[in-house]
Amino acid sequence: MFSWLLCGIIFNTGLCSFNIHCNQQDMHALLNFKQGIIDPSGVISSWSTKLDCCQWKGVMCNNITSRVTGISIRCSTTLPSYRDEEDKSHCLTGSIRLSLLLVELEFLDYLDLRNNDFLALQFDYVHNHNSHNLSILTSPRQCVNSSTLGHLDLSLNWNLAISNLQWLPYISSLEYLNLRDIDLSKETNWLQLVTMLPSLSSLNMRACQLKDLSLSLNYANFTALEVLYLSANEFDSELPKWLFNLSSNIYDLDLSSSSLIGHLPKALLNHRDLEDLVLEDNNFDGPIPDWLGEFEHLKHLILGVNNFSGSIPTNLGNLSSLITLDIASNPLTGVVSERNFAKLSKLKELDIYSYSSLIFDFDSHWIPPFQLEELVIGFSNPNLPAWLYTQRSIERLTIWESSFEAPNKFWNFVSRMTKVQLQGNLIDGNISNVLLNSTIIDLSSNGLKGSLPQLSPNVVFVNLSNNSLSGDVSPLLCDNKMLNGKNSLLFLDISLNNLSGGLTNCWKNWKSLVAIHLGSNNLSGKIPSSMGFLSNLTSLHLHENKLNGEIPPSLQNCRSLLVFNVRNNHLSGNIPDWISHRVMALQLRSNHFSGKIPPQICQMSSLIILDIAHNTISGHIPNCLPNIKTLLFNNVSKNKLSFSFPTSRNAYIYESDNLELVTKGRVSKYDRNLHFMTLIDMSSNNLSGTIPPQMFSLMGLSSLNLSNNNLSGKILNEIGNMKNLESLDFSKNQLGGEIPQSLSSLSFLAYLNISFNNLRGKIPSGTQLQGFTAFSYMGNSDLCGPPLTKMCFQDDKHKDTKLVGEDGNQYEFWPWFYIGIEYGFVTGFLGVCCAVFFNTKLRHAYFKFLNDLRDRLRVLVVVNMNPFR
Ligand SMILES: *[C@@H]1O[C@H](CO)[C@@H](O)[C@H](O)[C@H]1NC(C)=O
Ligand SMILES: *[C@@H]1O[C@H](CO)[C@@H](O)[C@H](O)[C@H]1NC(C)=O
Ligand SMILES: *[C@@H]1O[C@H](CO)[C@@H](O)[C@H](O)[C@H]1NC(C)=O
Ligand SMILES: *[C@@H]1O[C@H](CO)[C@@H](O)[C@H](O)[C@H]1NC(C)=O
Ligand SMILES: *[C@@H]1O[C@H](CO)[C@@H](O)[C@H](O)[C@H]1NC(C)=O
Ligand SMILES: *[C@@H]1O[C@H](CO)[C@@H](O)[C@H](O)[C@H]1NC(C)=O
Ligand SMILES: *[C@@H]1O[C@H](CO)[C@@H](O)[C@H](O)[C@H]1NC(C)=O
Ligand SMILES: *[C@@H]1O[C@H](CO)[C@@H](O)[C@H](O)[C@H]1NC(C)=O
Ligand SMILES: *[C@@H]1O[C@H](CO)[C@@H](O)[C@H](O)[C@H]1NC(C)=O
Ligand SMILES: *[C@@H]1O[C@H](CO)[C@@H](O)[C@H](O)[C@H]1NC(C)=O
Ligand SMILES: *[C@@H]1O[C@H](CO)[C@@H](O)[C@H](O)[C@H]1NC(C)=O
């Protein structure tokens, strides 16, 4: 007793720490728990008998009793640059032996395994916790009865699926439960089970693939619930009645992105104390109710991206505690005036933008009661509201679909902000003398004139694409007195303007650049050798200009390059044989490149796009192409061409690269889906010889175009191996022989052109090949059979006529069928695409993307990920 007291007194000096001895039972329990874990990077290597278990990493003990009370092992991950998936290979995986912990660690209060990569949760029901016998039980009533666990966080273990939550009620002491991003789609009874936790005050089931909101229930027995996050699920229903009939008051409610419908019910007022109401990205309709003005404690009201109509009630101006008001992207109408904001003195973030355009009618002398940090507006008036200039703390400004003149005062005003998104407005102004100073600035698709502006060293992302800027690039790249060698520019997009002159030799000032978009201007001269200084450059787009000369060898120093696009220029010389092996997309189309295809091209083992069409390249097609592994096996998940990188603590820029490609006989723009495309286009060159047999082993290839060359020889039967082929064009060559029967087994093939060759014989029958029209086969004088009108007389005449006679209608039907298949494919493909997005932490980015689609605008997506949810 005395020694305990003494310890209590001198504990803080650390003298008594020798008295904290790990309890043996606790230690064995932890070691048992460790058995289920796979720990690739040795995170819990300290968990061994050599060390007192109270000193193990992530283990917390009570100072007095020295019993284990907490385990907290979060994995720290950062989004790696230019790839959109977090690397979790160093995180804990394996299974979580939860019942073992609960039974054996009698004093465990806190368990946090957030953001690891666990794959299974083990909960064995046990007879009696005193026997420590972990055998599976029939009636688990008394087992974890004594659990003391209050805090359980298993969130962000994305690959974890829990098939049932039957075990939850046995942790009756639970107050905080976070299962975010765990797949709970198999547990349909989730609501009933969580309501059996009498002390539960905070529940997070964000993105758990829940579908059922128990609409029939009038009442839910939550007695202590205060915080409820059910966002990013797939409810597809109205708000359930039970939500408004609880024995507790919710103050933080997040139901965003869950396909909810209907009007907002007035019963929401039962949760009088609401501070956070987050309902964005659903399909709620009707008016924004004026009774929302009665929530006097409301701090964050987020109703954006819904179908609310009517005008914005002035009652919202009563919400004097409000910090965030987001009603953007709803079809709201009417007038917005100072009366809407009368008492909002605490407001920091305001999002009011409607795609059916709001009329701003503010007193020109009005001084708002707030100082905003973030503002998103869109208005149909011809001028910026005067009060904007009273806002001295705005960090982030977005203006949508508005038209206004931007005087120098405006540019000085925005230069203080970190993020300025003004794309897709009709901003009229001459920015020759402007200095851009924001970290992120998007001025694309406006009516800006004059020469390029200057950039301060703060700028990380600048998009000036699709304006009427003229002059050369030197004001931005060379004449910059601000820079003295230091800057942080990663993304530069000045494409689609009227810029002229050369590319300058000033690139060594901009070594941090990752993506350069200079396409669709009038730029001329050579590609400067100073671009070789850009060692982090992943994406270079110089297409549709008048560049000439050869590609400078210095570009081999751009070792990070993934996308190299110079299509439609006047470039000449050989295809470089030194291009970085990492390159994934090489587009040299429509230039004057000559010489042979260098075999070194086969060393680009990640290549998915090889487009050298419309040049004067001669010689044979190299037979080493199967060395390009990505063309051999189509592993779409590895071909990511989207980039994300942190810009601040919880914000990410999310960008996907894009290319225009010719496939299926037409030009298509690929961006978010670029990595799904694997393409070789060598059309319209002077290639000769045969198509090397190895080419037919490229099973990953989706589009192959060798048309308009001098290729001879046969189409080999091995073409049937190219199962992913969707588009095949061999037209305008001298290919001979018969069409191999195996061609008809390519079930994805949606476009075929083998016209104008020397093919002969009968077009193989079978649904596939007759689905194409005669245009696919014409110009082969010895080819016969449907869909050509020429009959094959050497064949069994009787059979053939019978076919034609019977199928007269069917041939009309097939083209439609193929259009159907094509659409089907597109939809299926979108499905894949969405699944990819939905399985990553960037779900929010996807949602923003949808939002953008709705706004019919392409936006730079900056993802704010709330770390606490
Ligand atoms: C136990 O130790 C922690 C950390 O040293 C300290 O913050 C806490 O106050 C201590 N508790 C008691 C009851 O001494
Ligand atoms: C644990 O339970 C199993 C099956 O019920 C039994 O065979 C075993 O003997 C028990 N072990 C102990 C230590 O009680
Ligand atoms: C269940 O918990 C109660 C109260 O904490 C306790 O009195 C009882 O002994 C426990 N039962 C078992 C089987 O552990
Ligand atoms: C609600 O839960 C409390 C505490 O668990 C319990 O006492 C009460 O009987 C329950 N009420 C209903 C209607 O289920
Ligand atoms: C709320 O729940 C109680 C208790 O189950 C029930 O009697 C009542 O009808 C419910 N109220 C509504 C509006 O559904
Ligand atoms: C939005 O609501 C209107 C009625 O106000 C309705 O006609 C329209 O179909 C709804 N839009 C969507 C996308 O649900
Ligand atoms: C709320 O605002 C409306 C309109 O602005 C006003 O008529 C009403 O009196 C206000 N209510 C309170 C409680 O302040
Ligand atoms: C440029 O930005 C920096 C930091 O972002 C800021 O401190 C500075 O005041 C800005 N300069 C101008 C002229 O607005
Ligand atoms: C710049 O803006 C244009 C038009 O808004 C868009 O198409 C392009 O992708 C943007 N560039 C980058 C690098 O985001
Ligand atoms: C833009 O302003 C500059 C300098 O003020 C001027 O020289 C130039 O002619 C202007 N350009 C246009 C298109 O108005
Ligand atoms: C290139 O990228 C790396 C990793 O992101 C970074 O550490 C380095 O500073 C960058 N180089 C330049 C010149 O910005």
Q: Place 839 in a pLDDT band, splitting at 50, 70 and 90.
A: very low
Distance CA 35, CA 857 (A): 52
Percent of the chain with pLDDT over 90: 62
Cross-strand bridge partners of residue 712: 690
Instruction: For residue 458, give both structure tokens.
Output: 């703060």
Mean pLDDT of 184-208: 94
- Compute the half-sphere exposure of residue 526: CA atoms within 13 Å on the CB side of its CA: 14
* Position 812 pLDDT exceeds 50: no
Hey, CA dihedral for 102, 107, 110, 116, is it positive or negative?
Answer: negative
Q: Where are the alpha helices (DSSP H) in 448-555?
A: 474-477
Give kind and range of the element (H or E) at residue 575.
none
* Pairing of the two strands 609-611 and 426-430: unpaired
Cβ contact 747:768 at 8 Å = yes
* Pairing of the two strands 491-493 and 515-517: parallel
Distance CA 533, CA 536 (A): 9
Which ligand is located closest to the Cα atom of residue 245? 5
* pLDDT value for 146: 56
Instruction: For residue 34, give both structure tokens.
Output: 């460790």
Write down the number of H helices and E strands in the chain: 10, 56
Cβ contact 145:173 at 8 Å = no
* pLDDT value for 268: 95
Distance CA 781, CA 783 (A): 6
170 backbone dihedrals φ, ψ, rounded to 5° = -75, -10
* pLDDT value for 647: 60
pLDDT tens-digit readout, 146-176: 578 999 999 999 999 999 898 898 888 999 9
Q: Place 386 in a pLDDT band, splitting at 50, 70 and 90.
A: very high
- Burial degree of 443 (CB within 10 A; 0-12, 13-18, 19+): buried
Mean pLDDT of 248-255: 95
Give kind and range of the element (H or E) at residue 219.
none
DSSP result, 93-110: EEEEEHHHHHHH-TT--E
Residue at 830: amino acid letter? L
CA 123, 129, 131: angle at the middle one, nearest 5? 115
CA of 179 to the centre of ligand 3 (A): 27
Lowest mean pLDDT among 118-127, 443-452, 463-472, 592-601: 118-127
Residue whose CB lies within 8 A of the most ligand 10 atoms, among 405, 408, 430, for a mutation test: 430
| Residue that is written with structure tokens 């990493």 in the block | 57
Q: Closest ligand 6 atom, CA of 307?
A: 1
pLDDT tens-digit readout, 654-676: 677 889 999 999 999 988 788 78
CA of 193 to the centre of ligand 4 (A): 13
Q: Place 79 in a pLDDT band, splitting at 50, 70 and 90.
A: low
What integer best gives the mean pLDDT of the chain? 83
CA of 451 to the centre of ligand 10 (A): 7
* Position 829 pLDDT exceeds 80: no
* pLDDT value for 804: 33
- Tell which wins on pLDDT, 129 or 537: 537
- Tell which wins on pLDDT, 648 or 631: 631
Number of residues that make up the chain: 869
CA 134, 135, 139: angle at the middle one, nearest 5? 110
* pLDDT value for 139: 37
Mean pLDDT of 688-710: 94
Q: Closest ligand 3 atom, CA of 130?
A: 14
Determine whether the shortest distance from the Cβ of 421 to ligand 9 is under 6 A.
Answer: no
pLDDT tens-digit readout, 423-449: 989 898 899 999 999 999 999 999 999
Lowest mean pLDDT among 2-16, 148-162, 355-369, 479-493: 2-16
CA 767, 769, 774: angle at the middle one, nearest 5? 125
Cβ contact 795:770 at 8 Å = no
Mean pLDDT of 737-753: 90
Residue at 797: amino acid letter? K
Lowest mean pLDDT among 223-232, 343-352, 765-774, 776-785: 765-774
Among protein residues, the one with the nearest Cα to ligand 10's atom 4 is: 432
**What is the three-class DSSP state of 592?**
strand
**What is the three-class DSSP state of 16?**
coil
Best CATH choice for the domain 562-793 from the list 3.40.50.2000, 2.60.40.10, 3.30.310.80, 3.80.10.10: 3.80.10.10
Residue at 680: amino acid letter? I
Helix, strand, coil distribution of the chain in percent, nearest 5: 25, 25, 55
Distance CA 525, CA 548 (A): 6
* Position 849 pLDDT exceeds 60: no
Which ligand is located closest to the Cα atom of residue 496? 9
Among protein residues, the one with the nearest Cα to ligand 10's atom 8 is: 450
Residue whose CB lies within 8 A of the most ligand 5 atoms, among 192, 216, 219, 269, for a mutation test: 219
pLDDT tens-digit readout, 528-563: 999 999 999 999 999 999 999 999 999 999 988 999
Determine whether the shortest distance from the Cβ of 62 to ligand 1 is under 6 A.
Answer: no
Collect all residues with Cβ–Cβ distance below 8 Å to 795 and sequence separation of at least 6.
762, 785
Distance CA 14, CA 12 (A): 5
* pLDDT value for 827: 29
Distance CA 178, CA 662 (A): 48
301 closest CA partner among 185, 313, 73: 313
pLDDT tens-digit readout, 300-312: 999 999 999 999 9
CA of 855 to the centre of ligand 9 (A): 15
* Domains in the chain: boundaries: 562-793, 804-857
Distance CA 476, CA 456 (A): 10
* Position 377 pLDDT exceeds 80: yes
Determine whether the shortest distance from the Cβ of 307 to ligand 6 is under 6 A.
Answer: yes
Task: With both helix axes pointing from N to C terminus, report the angle between 843-854 and 797-838 in degrees, rounded to the nearest 10.
Answer: 110
* Pairing of the two strands 642-648 and 609-611: unpaired
Q: In what order do the strands lie in the sheet with 710-712?
A: 470-471, 498-501, 522-525, 546-549, 570-574, 592-596, 616-619, 686-690, 710-712
E-strand ranges in 424-538 read: 426-430, 435-436, 440-442, 447-449, 454-455, 461-463, 470-471, 491-493, 498-501, 515-517, 522-525
* pLDDT value for 540: 96
Cβ contact 30:80 at 8 Å = no
Distance CA 578, CA 405 (A): 49
CA of 665 to the centre of ligand 4 (A): 67
281 secondary structure, DSSP code: S
CA of 290 to the centre of ligand 7 (A): 9
Cβ contact 854:411 at 8 Å = no
Distance CA 156, CA 159 (A): 9
Cβ contact 426:446 at 8 Å = yes
